[in-house]
């Protein structure tokens, strides 16, 4: 018997474990032992390198809340055959936009107006729309701000004056009164926003990542009877 056991060991037979299960039993169908080794260094490096891309993708896919421009008043009236719009926005630049303006970056703001009429069992009908855009720039040489709309422009000594000027629409014609039906109720809406698409390309990237580069109001809606 001693010789038989010695011959088995010389030929490489696995020693018997204390629990009675040899290597051949494991090969016969036992599940492999779970791997507990840490992830390879190359895999960890690839994960760390992908973090910036994941963060950038999150910024592009997660909408940022723009800084608000409250609407303090809005109204329509008919005078001399014209429908006149008057509205005021509590408008002020964010610190980031002020710094950009001081560095010579021009900012563009747009005020939009829409007038619709409700129709039974159908979508509202858009009766009129109107908009005005302002270009705001600063000259370090003259230390003055300039606001232009189309070919017309005006200079201001302070940013507060610029904000008051842009944020106030006084009796602007938006349509002819003859286009309205007497006694019909309409819904008017106004809003104001910074036109991010007019910014230089590097600043458009900033606008995607920071709410300080997004300045706008929600549509402010109010009723009007012709």
User: Distance between CA 185 and CA 172 in Å, rounded?
Assistant: 20
pLDDT at res. 203: 82
* 57: confidence class by pLDDT, cuts 50, 70, 90: very low
Of the pLDDT bands very low, low, confident and very high (cuts 50, 70, 90), residue 49 is very low
Q: Does residue 28 belong to any structural domain of this protein?
A: no
Q: What is the pTM of this model?
A: 0.68
> Does residue 45 belong to any structural domain of this protein?
no
Q: What is the band of 30 on the pLDDT scale with cuts at 50, 70, 90?
A: low
> Do the domain assignments include residue 3?
no
**Does the residue 57 lie in any domain?**
no
Range of the domain at 193: 68-225
Of 118, 121, 139, 140, nearest to 189 by C-alpha is 118
Total domain count for the chain?
A: 1
Q: Which pLDDT does position 166 carry in this prediction?
A: 96
Kindly report the average pLDDT of the chain as a whole number: 79
Asked if residues 170 and 177 have their Cβ atoms less than 8 Å apart, the reply is no
Q: Where does the pLDDT of residue 27 fall: very low under 50, low under 70, confident under 90, or very high at 90 and above?
A: very low
Predicted confidence (pLDDT) at residue 9 exceeds the cutoff of 50:
no
Q: Which of 51-60, 95-104, 134-143, 169-178 has the lowest mean pLDDT?
A: 51-60
Name the band, by pLDDT with cuts 50, 70 and 90, for residue 63: very low
Q: Is the pLDDT of residue 149 over 90?
A: yes
In the prediction, which pLDDT does 204 show?
Answer: 81
Across 29-33, 53-57, 121-125, 210-214, least confident range: 53-57
Work out the pLDDT band at 48, boundaries 50, 70, 90.
Answer: very low
- Is residue 61, in this structure, part of any structural domain at all? no
Other CB atoms within 10 A of residue 181 CB: 10
15 domain-assigned: no
Residue 42 belongs to a domain: no
pLDDT of residue 163: 96
- Inside any domain, residue 169: yes
């Amino acid at each position: 018997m001693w010789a038989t056991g010695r011959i088995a060991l010389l030929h490489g037979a696995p020693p018997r474990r204390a629990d009675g299960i040899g290597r051949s039993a494991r090969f016969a169908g036992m599940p492999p032992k779970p791997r507990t080794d840490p992830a390879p260094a190359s895999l960890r490096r690839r994960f760390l390198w992908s973090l910036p891309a994941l963060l950038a993708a999150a910024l592009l896919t997660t909408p940022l809340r723009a800084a608000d421009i409250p609407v303090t008043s809005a109204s329509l009236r008919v005078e001399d055959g014209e429908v006149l719009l008057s509205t005021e926005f509590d408008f002020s630049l964010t610190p980031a936009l002020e710094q950009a303006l001081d560095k010579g970056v021009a900012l563009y703001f747009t005020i939009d107006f829409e007038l619709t009429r409700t129709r039974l069992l159908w979508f509202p009908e858009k009766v009129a729309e109107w908009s005005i855009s302002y270009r705001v720039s600063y000259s370090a040489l003259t230390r003055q701000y300039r606001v232009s709309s189309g070919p017309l422009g005006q200079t201001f000594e302070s940013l507060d004056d610029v904000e008051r000027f842009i944020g106030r629409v006084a009796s602007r014609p938006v349509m002819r009164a003859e286009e309205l039906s007497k006694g019909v109720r309409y819904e008017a809406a106004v809003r104001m926003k910074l036109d991010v698409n007019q910014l230089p390309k590097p600043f458009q990237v900033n606008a995607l990542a920071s709410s300080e580069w997004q300045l706008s109001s929600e549509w402010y809606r109010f009723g009007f009877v012709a």
